[in-house]
Amino acid sequence: MPPHKRKLQDKYFKQAKREGYVARSAYKLIELNDRRMIIRKKDRVLDLGCAPGSWLQVAREIVGERGLVVGIDLKPVTQSFGDNVFTMVGDFTETDASTLLGAVEGEEAELFDAVISDMAPNTTGHGDDFMSCRLCHKILDALPDLLRPGGRCVMKVFEGGDFPELLKRTKSMFRDARPLKPEACREVSRETYIVGNGYRPVAEETPKRVVGAGPSPKPPSGWGG
């Protein structure tokens, strides 16, 4: 690895250790949020592919005590980040939206204000961009049951042949959607992020939501701390 790239890696790695983040990827979300206001105070946020937890940490810092952060990953998150941060182990594509929303039987669940994802497929060096785009399409497929109208979304993707079609689809679903590459991304990496603001669901696909903001709900049995 060339010296200047090692220096970049060391900068964010050391900064994360110094500031108490579990991974250097925290600074990607911090920069994306500074530029596009994905997460706001008191928001309900869903983190898809949340392990090891750096994006949970950043989201919790932004939403504050009256917000809510929920994460799901195939791997467990071993640290606790606060009373209003809940995690579960599982595949989001095989998990009912009601479970992710923390729905209580007999009550309507409130949709998330933001869906964030730093997920990536297991990289093999062959077809990684295709698998990454397919994963992002699955996120977009799930949004009608998870994200409120007007909500925000950010998802990592590897640039490649299918990237233009993914960006086109995202733009059709949001008032504004664009690719952004944070400084904390390694220069040699093809990873970038698509950020969407102003979610526009198809009317018939829009699920019901609770009207009005209130205190964060108590987690149902499906949520772990």
pLDDT digits (tens, 9 = 90+) for 74-96: 999 999 999 999 999 999 999 99
**For helices 128-142 and 163-173, angle between their N-to-C axes, nearest 10 degrees:** 10
Report which DSSP code applies to 156: E
Q: Which of 120, 26, 112 is nearest to 69 (CA)?
A: 112
**Between 186 and 96, residue with greater pLDDT:** 96
Query: In what order do the strands lie in the sheet containing 191-199?
Result: 85-89, 68-73, 44-48, 112-117, 147-158, 191-199, 174-180
Q: Are 68 and 81 spatial neighbours (Cβ–Cβ below 8 Å)?
A: no
Alpha-carbon span 54 to 156, nearest angstrom: 15
Give the separation between CA 89 and CA 68, rounded to whole angstroms: 18
115-168 per-position pLDDT tens digit: 999 998 876 666 788 999 999 999 999 999 999 999 999 999 999 889 999 999
pLDDT of residue 125: 64
Rounded average pLDDT over 196-203? 89
Give SS3 for 172. helix
Of 36-40, 141-145, 180-184, 193-197, the range with the lowest mean pLDDT is 180-184
Give the H or E element holding residue 212. none
Active site residues: 156
Rg over CA atoms, the chain: 17
In the block, residue with structure tokens 């079609």: 165
Contact present, 195 and 178 (Cβ < 8 Å): yes
Give 5-48 pLDDT, tens digit per residue.
445 456 765 665 566 578 788 999 999 999 999 999 999 999 99
More confident residue, 183 or 42: 42
At residue 217, does pLDDT exceed 50? no
Residue 57, pLDDT > 60, answer yes
pLDDT surpassing 50 at residue 60: yes
pLDDT, position 131:
92
Q: What local confidence, expressed as pLDDT, does residue 7 receive?
A: 53
Which pLDDT value is given to residue 129? 87
Q: Which domains are assigned to the chain?
A: 3-205 (3.40.50.150)
Handedness of CA 34, 149, 215, 108 (dihedral sign): negative
Do residues 98 and 159 touch, judged by C-beta distance below 8 A? no
